[in-house]
Amino acid sequence: MALKALDYDTLNENVKKCQYAVRGELYLRASELQKEGKKIIFTNVGNPHALGQKPLTFPRQVVALCQAPFLLDDPNVGMLFPADAIARAKHYLSLTSGGLGAYSDSRGLPGVRKEVAEFIQRRDGYPSDPELIFLTDGASKGVMQILNCVIRGDGDGILVPVPQYPLYSATISLLGGTLVPYYLDESQNWGLDVNNLRQSVAQARSQGITVRAMVIINPGNPTGQCLSEANIREILKFCYNEKLVLLGDEVYQQNIYQDERPFISSKKVLMEMGSPFSKGVQLVSFHTVSKGYWGECGQRGGYFEMTNLPPRVVEEIYKVASIALSPNVSAQILMGLMVSPPKPGDISYDQFARESKGILESLRRRARIMTDGFNSCKNVVCNFTEGAMYSFPQIRLPPGAIQAAKQAGKVPDVFYCLKLLEATGISTVPGSGFGQKEGVFHLRTTILPAEEEMPEIMDSFKKFNDEFMTQYDNNVGYSRM
């Protein structure tokens, strides 16, 4: 009997090929265990509110008023909402063409895109054009739109850091392109060596691949490193020489936990490099409301800014965005609030500053607790989380464990993470989901569990890990870094 279009064997092969480990086997098993009543600590995905982080009050007040605009005519509105939230809600509603229920322009509300451009200009010290900023339903959607424009077939390669956030590998598979890996150096705190890049490109070209674009994630996901200005400059020169579009994933730009390398945007570095680079490198930078001290993942808001793209290409990207009509308007407004938060003197300023500072300082402490915790464990070594939301320890699995994994039909780090999950309820993602060097194993966990629960979680991890290592350790032939 002939197969139907939605039978497994006749599905689009690109759909079948793509893998997304952040919500893969471990997550599915964790969800099952949760259904069975086990307490699960979901650290598989950077989802702060799911682990108890409270939303920032002021932006939520504003968006709530935009959802219920009739409250603005209620004489009692001032009993529940401060005057500056009321004023901001009126401001944002005036930027829409019918409130949150009306489609906006497919690029997002012009007024919010203007606020984003002003934010970028303040941040970088260089002009930004609202016409080159598109709002999106989260940064992931923006990345997918741009890669869709770049990738024409499997002859097109995209340089992606390894370890990488699997959005990139999954999207490239889905679009039928080829991922060209470049390895970050764990022994150099996950540094990026341009010589590695050259090798990766040369190797891809020798296989007939046209390398078209390069992805950087700064701060790094899952690796947590912050790129230096000098490093970004090298990357931009490389992109200039090789005619690559640079996709700058900068969604963790607020999440910095050290003072030596504050966040610096690729756009700013590019502008500072001047001619011929500043007009010669095609750059698309991504940002989101999901990360930072906002953590508004479920709202799905983001933007991308395009630099040095020809107007005709911008029009094409606009056309494709228009097929899905518009990003959700509520998160567009949240993005507006993120880029223009309360100012000193505003009624809500103190509360806003207190809340955001509190979250960021706690994240910094948690990054430290987690790194130290991992480094106290047997056969575990972990670079410090300089930025972003993740810890990515190397787990040096003894041969006995690798053997046992093989017998269970599992990749060794998947085997380890499953055992960890069953024993402790901690739901992580195996390093193989992000890519890692042959024979080296990691896991990714977020630094997001509540600070007060952190010591207990790390104790529970250590207890599991050290027992696991003792069980399998025969003191010879560790996998090496």
List, in order, residues 6 or more apart from 385 with CB less than 8 Å away.
224, 257, 367, 370, 371, 391, 447
Q: Of 48 and 430, which has the nearer Cβ to a copy of itself?
A: 48
Q: Which residue has the tokens 């009997």?
A: 1
Asked if 332 and 112 touch (Cβ cutoff 8 Å), the reply is yes
Q: Of 151 and 192, which has the nearer Cβ to a copy of itself?
A: 151
Per CB under 8 A, the segment of 169-177, 197-205, 356-364, 471-479 that binds a copy of itself is: 169-177
- Name the minimum Å distance from CB 439 to a copy of itself: 27
Among 87, 194, 324, 450, binds a copy of itself (CB under 8 A): 324
- Name the minimum Å distance from CB 229 to a copy of itself: 24
291-310: which residues touch a copy of itself (CB under 8 A)? Answer: 295-300, 309-310
d(CA 478, CA 452): 34
What torsion do the CA atoms of 157, 161, 164, 169 make, to the nearest 10 degrees? Answer: 0
- Name the minimum Å distance from CB 378 to a copy of itself: 33
20-39: which residues touch a copy of itself (CB under 8 A)? Answer: 20, 22-23, 31
Six-digit token string for 17: 């090929």
Binding mask 36-55 for a copy of itself (x = CB under 8 A): ------x--x-xxxxxxx-x
230-249: which residues touch a copy of itself (CB under 8 A)? Answer: 243-245
Largest alpha-carbon pair distance within the chain?
Answer: 75
Q: Of 20 and 384, which has the nearer Cβ to a copy of itself?
A: 20
Pick from 175, 201, 200, 196: nearest CA to 186: 196
135-164: which residues touch a copy of itself (CB under 8 A)? Answer: 137-138, 140-141, 144, 146, 148-152, 156
Give residue 53's identity as a one-letter amino acid code: Q
If one asks whether residue 132 binds a copy of itself (CB under 8 A), the answer comes out as no
Six-digit token string for 161: 């850091």
If one asks whether residue 360 binds a copy of itself (CB under 8 A), the answer comes out as no
Among 127, 195, 312, 407, binds a copy of itself (CB under 8 A): 312
- Which ranges of 245-385 would DSSP assign to H, the alpha helix? 266-273, 311-323, 329-339, 349-375
If one asks whether residue 423 binds a copy of itself (CB under 8 A), the answer comes out as no
Q: Of 18 and 33, which has the nearer Cβ to a copy of itself?
A: 18
If one asks whether residue 269 binds a copy of itself (CB under 8 A), the answer comes out as no
Asked if 380 and 393 touch (Cβ cutoff 8 Å), the reply is yes
Among 83, 97, 470, 481, binds a copy of itself (CB under 8 A): 97
Q: Of 30 and 418, which has the nearer Cβ to a copy of itself?
A: 30
**Is residue 438 classed exposed, middle or buried when 0-12, 13-18 and 19+ CB atoms within 10 A define those classes?**
exposed
Among 135, 162, 170, 411, binds a copy of itself (CB under 8 A): 170
Instruction: State how far the alpha carbon of 128 is from the alpha carbons of 114, 210, 239, 247, in Å.
Output: 9, 31, 21, 17
Q: Of 33 and 381, which has the nearer Cβ to a copy of itself?
A: 33
If one asks whether residue 365 binds a copy of itself (CB under 8 A), the answer comes out as no
- Kindly give the pairing relationship between strand 283-288 and strand 302-307: antiparallel
Pick from 43, 40, 44, 38: nearest CA to 23: 44
Q: Of 156 and 473, which has the nearer Cβ to a copy of itself?
A: 156
Among 117, 174, 395, 429, binds a copy of itself (CB under 8 A): 174
The residues that bridge with 304 in the sheet, in sequence order, are 134, 286
Q: For the stretch 358-388, what's the b/e string if a residue is b when 16 or more beta carbons lie within 10 angstroms of its beta carbon?
A: ebeebbbebbbbbbebbeebebbebbbbbbb
d(CA 468, CA 481): 20
325-354: which residues touch a copy of itself (CB under 8 A)? Answer: 325-331
- Name the minimum Å distance from CB 316 to a copy of itself: 6
Among 38, 279, 319, 365, binds a copy of itself (CB under 8 A): 319
373-412: which residues touch a copy of itself (CB under 8 A)? Answer: none
If one asks whether residue 480 binds a copy of itself (CB under 8 A), the answer comes out as no
Helix (H) or strand (E) holding 133: strand 133-136
206-225: which residues touch a copy of itself (CB under 8 A)? Answer: 212-213
